[in-house]
Amino acid sequence: MTAPVGLLIGSHIPPADIPGLAALAETKGFGEVWLTEDLWYSSGVVAATAALAATQTIPVGLGIQSAVTRHVSIQALDFATIEAMFPGRFWPGIGLGLPAWLDQMGIMPPAPMRAVREAVQHTKALLAGESVTADATHKLSDIKLAYPAETVPPIYVGAVGPKSIVQTGRIAEGLVASTTSGVAYIEWARKLLDAGAAEAGDGKPRRIVTFALFCGDDDAALARDSLRSVLAFYLFV
């Protein structure tokens, strides 16, 4: 089966351009649209909502939002609200986020993998309409959403290292890989993701989403040059 080709609307794109680009992606036949949340550029949930409002059927993914920059109950509230307005079209993503950004805010968790795991588990529980009480990275005391998701959307996790990718297979429906991932890395990550999924034992396949930089030009040198600034953004952001 051929994997769908989507369009990434990266953080280097001005927010005002997002609705028009999402609509264009749908018109031109792309299979999905993905937005990012790179601090301090644009809000991922706001950008995803704008993209969904500008389109009719195309799914929109958020890859990814940090597990610790918002309280998990607010994160679940945002996701449930978007899912209610655009049923079946929103694919939320959760990850740690760049440590440098978290250090800027003084919120780098002492156990990063645990923070991501708890965020995914508690978000799923809240989206499913459960009441959650937990003394975790984010404390919750009998929190329950008034409008949970009728259908819990697939949760994607941004992960890079082997342990975090295996954990992703256990707790999530998909992996958002690094923007600079190569073919060999994706093959390696697939094995780890599948190993985690096997531990979960639910029999459901896990997707891998990877963002590939691309430029079409008859002149290969010009094509490479046109991508240098974009690649530099993702290497040093």
Question: What's the rounded Cα separation, in Å, for the pair 18 and 47?
Answer: 7
Question: What's the rounded Cα separation, in Å, for the pair 20 and 83?
Answer: 21
pLDDT in tens, 142-165: 999 999 999 999 999 999 999 999
Dihedral angle, C-alpha 200, 34, 56, 16, nearest 10 °: 150
Whether residue 219 is predicted with pLDDT greater than 90 in this model: the reply is no
Determine the pLDDT at residue 79. Answer: 98
Determine the pLDDT at residue 1. Answer: 52
Q: What is the residue-averaged pLDDT of the chain? A: 93
Determine the pLDDT at residue 237. Answer: 58
Higher pLDDT, 233 or 78: 78
Nearest C-alpha neighbor of 34 from the set 12, 61, 52:
61
Strands 60-62 and 33-35: parallel
Residue 138: DSSP 8-state: S
pLDDT in tens, 9-33: 988 889 999 999 999 999 999 999 9
Question: What's the rounded Cα separation, in Å, for the pair 110 and 27?
Answer: 45
Confidence of residue 230 (pLDDT cuts 50, 70, 90): confident
Whether residue 193 is predicted with pLDDT greater than 70 in this model: the reply is yes
User: What pTM does this model have?
Assistant: 0.91
pLDDT in tens, 86-133: 999 999 999 999 899 999 999 999 999 999 999 999 999 999 999 999
Determine the pLDDT at residue 232. Answer: 74
Nearest C-alpha neighbor of 179 from the set 92, 69, 112, 95:
95
Question: What's the rounded Cα separation, in Å, for the pair 189 and 158?
Answer: 12
**Residue 50: phi, psi to the nearest 5?**
-65, -40
